Chains A and B, each alone.
Chain A
Amino acid sequence: MMKAKVLVTPKQGILDPQGVAVQHAMSQLGMSCVTEARVGKVIELTFTGENEQKTREKLDQLCQELLSNPVVEDYHILWEGKTA
């Protein structure tokens, strides 16, 4: 079994009103040292573990086509490695 987390975040320079709202709230709760917050999403995936190379390539492709929108988002894949 293989696992991966896909982190999808708004591209730098793109207005992220959720991030601004979070930063504002943190500041009000005593963390005025937070100068920026960016809100994205995490997609946790579990694979069968067969054909690891093919899985990695296909996931990279689908990150660009489905899991993120390259116009406004960046993605980063965190592999958790084989556990079985």
Chain B
Amino acid sequence: MKWGIVRFPGSNCDQDLYHVIRYILGQKATYLWHKDTDLQNCDIIALPGGFSYGDYLRCGAIARFSPIMQEVLAHASRGGPIIGICNGFQVLCESQLLPGALIRNRTLHFVCQHVHLLGEGPALKQTKLYVPIAHGEGCYYNSPDGLKKLEYENQILLRYCSPQGTITEEDNPNGSLNNIAAICSPNRRIWGMMPHPERACEAALGSTDGLTLFRCFLQQISTA
């Protein structure tokens, strides 16, 4: 598998992601510049965290219209796999590749901490993970009908939970509806998440649960 990591002006998790894909997962990876119009035969497109275009207007709003995103949209329409992390998740929602929106955290604070997550759906089952988040606009919102559809189609991948794996309001760091931390497209090939798995792939960083998340993604896209 060859990964293409998209770099927008303001992306800042691109190198961490490259490091994990290349040296920990042992797969091929290359950077794709936002002005590029060629995906260089990449099999998987990764949209990293950061502050694309300075988060001007809304997070991800301007990145959506960059030249590379037109190719990413075409890749998605061919059923190509995509993973968006943090700002990448915001870009995917703005691009309407994933439903809903990410708005200002309920507390108005930028939250930067490790969180407990409970997986669900065929890829992550009931896996418990401990992975960091770092965002100011990570409150997942969708309309009541949109939320019902997500639940019905099993599109929710991760929810914020207690250390014991219980979904509670106290363990919701940003006000996300139904504690949603990550979702996927109906065909399960486009994943978007606020947590940063690339920051939790080596024991020295306090958790290797991010690797589990990447491996579940790879497993899912090889079967879906």
Measuring CB to CB, which residues of chain A are less than 8 angstroms from any residue of chain B? 10, 14-15, 17-18, 21, 66-67, 69, 71-72
Measuring CB to CB, which residues of chain B are less than 8 angstroms from any residue of chain A? 57-58, 61-62, 65, 93-94, 100-101, 103-108, 139, 141-143, 175
CB pair B101 A71 closer than 8 Å? yes
Secondary structure dominating the interface of B: loop
- B142 CB contacts on chain A under 8 angstroms: 71
The residue that B105 contacts in the complex, of A17, A66, A71, with Cβ under 8 A, is: A17
Secondary structure dominating the interface of A: mixed
Closest chain A residue to B96 by CB distance?
A: A71
The residue that A72 contacts in the complex, of B62, B101, B106, with Cβ under 8 A, is: B101
Q: How many A-B residue pairs have CB under 8 A?
A: 35
How far apart sit A67 and B94, CA to CA, in the bound complex (Å)? 11
The residue that A69 contacts in the complex, of B58, B65, B104, B175, with Cβ under 8 A, is: B58
CB pair B100 A15 closer than 8 Å? no
Known: A71-B100, A71-B143. A66 touches B61 (CB 8 A): yes
- A71 CB contacts on chain B under 8 angstroms: 93, 100-101, 141-143
